[in-house]
């Protein structure tokens, strides 16, 4: 008998509606005890996916008008009986409604407890449960699409396919080692094993290489716009973000703090960090700005290093270039509308633009995509969490080791042990053999009500 839980599923803020969720064996009875429908007797006998309109009551008095939507096990998000009560979006009313449910016998839900129940009732595998949290937190169209894809079980299915193939081989190996003389025992050759393990390792490796893209897509990409004062960093930031976030003047040292601006590139969200022009300065405020600019460069996924194309490169440009050279970067020559003579520039341009005239920007965007390795197929974003990445990488390591040892000539029972080591993390990824601690950790990232 599962304890019935209750929580507010929508933000605690003034809004059109607020939704309070109940899940558990007694969900419908508890909702029924506080809900007076206007047009039917009670919601007790309402079939699943049916709703009723009425009053929710507290201490015998109407608390609010609400719609009660009934789900019956197993056809609900959690797989249990559920009721969703939609009331007016007043945080006070919503909190009282939750309190009324608790008075009627429900317990307050813990973080992620609804999704956890869905996992425990086999409605979702662990990677799908993670995708629910990711979907809620997605900050761009592509991140949401990728999370939705994982939510539907694409990753779990690919992993299952690989794991099933390996488990079948493990079974054959087990039969072989138990009855080596048995004529009918399925026979596996060393060559077949090597071939199969290599193929599986390759598939895992493809999933792993998509992780970086997945992570970038999920978290949003941080791009620092850095360079000497007055080269046009703020003009470029404004252009890319289509906003006037940054102040632009012809005075060197205009930007003194990090100015963040959002932009989207092919549905991927970018966080542009316009920075103070980096230079030696005695101005106390500007000095802090310069330090922040350097820190922003360090913490970014990509640096747009902007130089003024209308003048020869200066020692200051070179100084900054030396600081960013080892990070992923693009050298942007700006103000090419002002070029009157061609200088022998010491730093090679990746792209030439005029931020003021919005010229060369398409090319710059192409280069940003290329530099970030944003090969934006949905497949490349399948793995989204460090946990999933670690599972896949442990499995791959065991398979690589098995192939290596088989080539060296080890006995097949050693290969069988390594094979188990490869299967285990794959089962863990989808939650089939995840430890309690791993499961706790996954659900710790959820909000209450989800």
Ligand X SMILES: Nc1nc2c(ncn2[C@@H]2O[C@H](COP(=O)(O)OP(=O)(O)OP(=O)(O)O)[C@@H](O)[C@H]2O)c(=O)[nH]1
Residues at the contact surface with ligand X, assessed by CB under 6 A: 229-235, 248-250, 252-255, 276-277, 334-335, 337-338, 354-356
Of residues 218, 216, 76, 203, the one with CA closest to residue 149: 218
Q: Does 385 interact with Mg ion (rule: CB under 5 A)? A: no
Element (H, E) at 127: helix 126-137
235: partner contacted, choices ligand X, Mg ion, none (Cβ within 5-8 A by kind): ligand X
Q: Which is nearer to ligand X, 355 or 418 (CB)?
A: 355
Q: Does 254 interact with Mg ion (rule: CB under 5 A)? A: yes
CB of 284 to Mg ion, least distance (A): 18
CB of 350 to Mg ion, least distance (A): 21
Stretch of residues binding Mg ion (CB under 5 A), selected from 97-105, 140-148, 227-235, 384-392: 227-235
Using alpha carbons only, give the angle 165, 166, 167 rounded to the nearest 5 degrees.
95
Q: Which is nearer to ligand X, 33 or 281 (CB)?
A: 281
| Closest chain position to ligand X (CB) | 277
What residues contact residue 25 under an 8 Å CB cut-off, 6+ apart? 1, 2, 4, 80, 81
**Residue 285 CA neighbour count, 13 Å, CB half:** 6
Of residues 355, 346, 374, the one with CA closest to residue 220: 374
- Pairing between β-strand 82-89 and β-strand 329-334 as defined by DSSP bridges: unpaired
54: partner contacted, choices ligand X, Mg ion, none (Cβ within 5-8 A by kind): none
Describe the crossing of helices 126-137 and 154-178 by its angle, rounded to 10 degrees.
Answer: 160
249: partner contacted, choices Mg ion, ligand X, none (Cβ within 5-8 A by kind): ligand X
CB of 96 to ligand X, least distance (A): 52
Which single residue is written with the structure tokens 């440009």? 317
Q: Which is nearer to ligand X, 112 or 277 (CB)?
A: 277
Stretch of residues binding Mg ion (CB under 5 A), selected from 225-233, 309-317, 382-390, 391-399: 225-233
CB of 12 to ligand X, least distance (A): 40
Q: Does 275 interact with Mg ion (rule: CB under 5 A)? A: no
Q: Does 255 interact with Mg ion (rule: CB under 5 A)? A: yes
CB of 322 to ligand X, least distance (A): 19
Q: Which is nearer to Mg ion, 158 or 255 (CB)?
A: 255
CB of 246 to Mg ion, least distance (A): 6
DSSP per residue over 319-350, as a string?
HHHHHHTTSSEEEEEE-GGG--S----SS--S
10: partner contacted, choices Mg ion, ligand X, none (Cβ within 5-8 A by kind): none
Element (H, E) at 7: strand 5-8
- On whether the CB atoms of residues 138 and 149 are closer than 8 A, the answer is no
CB of 253 to Mg ion, least distance (A): 8
Omega of the bond prior to 74 within 30 degrees of 0, cis?
Answer: yes
Count residues near Mg ion (CB under 5 A).
4
Of residues 262, 241, 266, 261, the one with CA closest to residue 146: 266
Q: Rounded to an integer, what distance in angstroms lies between the CA atom of residue 55 and that of residue 66? A: 6
Backbone conformation region of residue 352, classed left if phi is above 0, alpha if psi is from -120 to 50, else beta: beta
The tokens for 98 are: 């939750």
425: partner contacted, choices ligand X, Mg ion, none (Cβ within 5-8 A by kind): none
105: partner contacted, choices Mg ion, ligand X, none (Cβ within 5-8 A by kind): none
Q: Which is nearer to ligand X, 23 or 230 (CB)?
A: 230
171: partner contacted, choices Mg ion, ligand X, none (Cβ within 5-8 A by kind): none
CB of 316 to ligand X, least distance (A): 11
| Site residues, Mg ion (CB under 5 A) | 233-234, 254-255
């Amino acid at each position: 008998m599962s304890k019935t839980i209750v929580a507010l599923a929508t933000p605690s803020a003034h809004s059109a509606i607020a939704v309070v969720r109940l899940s558990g064996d007694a969900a419908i009875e508890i909702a029924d005890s506080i809900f007076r429908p206007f047009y039917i007797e009670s919601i007790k006998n309402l079939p699943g996916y049916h709703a009723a309109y009425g009053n929710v009551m507290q201490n015998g008095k109407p608390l609010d008008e609400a719609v009660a939507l009934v789900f019956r096990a197993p056809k609900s998000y959690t797989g249990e009986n559920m009721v969703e009560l939609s009331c007016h979006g007043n945080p006070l009313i919503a909190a009282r409604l939750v309190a009324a449910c608790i008075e009627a016998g429900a317990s307050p839900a813990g973080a992620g407890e609804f999704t956890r129940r869905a996992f425990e009732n086999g409605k979702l595998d662990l990677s799908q449960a993670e995708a629910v949290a990711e979907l809620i937190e997605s900050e761009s169209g592509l991140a949401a699409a990728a999370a939705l894809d994982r939510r539907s079980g694409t990753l779990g299915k690919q992993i299952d396919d690989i794991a099933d193939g390996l488990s079948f081989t493990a079974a054959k190996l087990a039969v072989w080692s138990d009855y080596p003389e048995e004529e009918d025992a399925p026979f596996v050759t060393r060559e077949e094993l090597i071939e199969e393990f290599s193929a599986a390792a390759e598939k895992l490796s493809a999933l792993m290489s998509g992780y970086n893209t997945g992570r970038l897509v999920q978290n949003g990409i941080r791009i620092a716009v850095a360079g000497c004062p007055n080269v046009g960093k703020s003009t470029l930031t404004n252009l890319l973000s289509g906003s006037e976030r940054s102040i632009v003047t012809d005075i060197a040292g205009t930007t003194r703090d990090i100015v963040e601006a959002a932009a989207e590139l092919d549905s991927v969200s970018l966080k542009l960090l316009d920075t103070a022009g980096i230079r030696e300065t005695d101005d106390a405020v500007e000095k802090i700005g310069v330090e922040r600019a350097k820190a922003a460069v360090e913490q970014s996924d990509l640096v747009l290093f902007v130089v003024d194309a209308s003048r020869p490169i200066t020692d200051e440009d070179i100084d900054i270039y030396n600081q960013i050279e080892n990070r992923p970067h693009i050298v942007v020559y700006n103000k090419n509308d002002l070029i009157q003579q061609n200088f022998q520039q010491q730093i090679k341009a990746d792209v030439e633009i005029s931020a003021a005239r919005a010229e060369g920007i398409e090319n710059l965007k192409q280069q940003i995509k290329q530099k970030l390795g944003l090969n934006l197929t949905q497949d490349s974003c399948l793995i989204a969490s460090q946990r999933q990445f670690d599972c896949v990488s442990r499995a791959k390591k065991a398979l690589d080791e098995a192939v290596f040892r088989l080539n060296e000539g080890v006995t097949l029972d050693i290969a069988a042990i390594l094979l188990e080591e490869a299967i285990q993390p794959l089962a863990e990824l989808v939650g089939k053999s995840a430890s309690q601690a791993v499961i706790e950790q996954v659900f710790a990232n959820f909000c209450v009500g989800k």
